[in-house]
Chain A
Amino acid sequence: GNSVTQMEGPVTLSEEAFLTINCTYTATGYPSLFWYVQYPGEGLQLLLKATKADDKGSNKGFEATYRKETTSFHLEKGSVQVSDSAVYFCALTGNYNQGGKLIFGQGTELSVKP
């Protein structure tokens, strides 16, 4: 079935550094891809999404491009802030045999230091 692999954390960066969090996937068909963010003590919030190959999702300075040829959806931000410290989850829609459930990666914790 469909699956997601994220780079392991924690990732620690200084403020204004460039961020990349890698996400690769295995899928049949044409899933939608998502990045979610979870701030401490909160639920998950949708950060961005892409529904077809070559789509670029963007929000709050974060970007990710749906790359079917490399089965990747890496999250990037040019200049991180302390307020970006959170856990980031990559996800995709499951295939028919998985009941159409959302499949999540294991999460990557980001810590940004001033």
Chain B
Amino acid sequence: EADIYQTPRYLVIGTGKKITLECSQTMGHDKMYWYQQDPGMELHLIHYSYGVNSTEKGDLSSESTVSRIRTEHFPLTLESARPSHTSQYLCASRGGALTEAFFGQGTRLTVV
């Protein structure tokens, strides 16, 4: 059982609102990731972190921002949500360079 949690599971918000998607893991993993998953299923890496105070942008440009103040916590923030941000967001963590990633259950975001 993976110990990585995302909240909320589902969120419907209005355009222009600021939101934060939470992701926490209790495995002590240094590496954490945010993926955006489109309806076609493909996963797009939007942010990653290799440790506290380390954050990098991923392969897909995103208007969201992330922070990593504590090892276990990797929140993603949208300052002003738009309908184009409607998607499923998946958080993951890994312990080592050749190890598997553990995923949270995802947050399905709908911006109306």
Contacts and interface: CB of A to CB of B under 8 A. Distances in A.
Interface of A: 31-32, 34, 36, 38, 41-46, 49, 51, 87, 89, 93, 99-102, 104, 106-107, 109
Given A43-B105, A89-B43, A109-B41, A102 B94 contact: yes
Given A104-B43, A106-B42, A44 B90 contact: yes
Interface residues on chain B, size class: 20 to 34
B97 A43 contact: no
B103 A43 contact: yes
B84 to A, nearest CB: 21
Interface string B100-112: 1111111010000
B101 A102 contact: yes
A99 B42 contact: no
Q: Max chain A CB contacts within 10 Å: which of B92, B99, B104?
A: B99
Interface string B37-51: 000111101001010
B100 A49 contact: yes
B74 interface: no
Contacts of A107: 41-43
Contacts of A104: 42-43
Q: Helix, strand, loop or mixed for chain A's interface?
A: strand
B12 interface: no
Q: Max chain B CB contacts within 10 Å: which of A44, A49, A51, A107?
A: A44
A99 B51 CA distance: 13
A88 to B, nearest CB: 10
B41 A93 contact: no
Interface string B3-45: 0001000000000000000000000000101000000111101
A50 to B, nearest CB: 11
Contacts of A38: 41
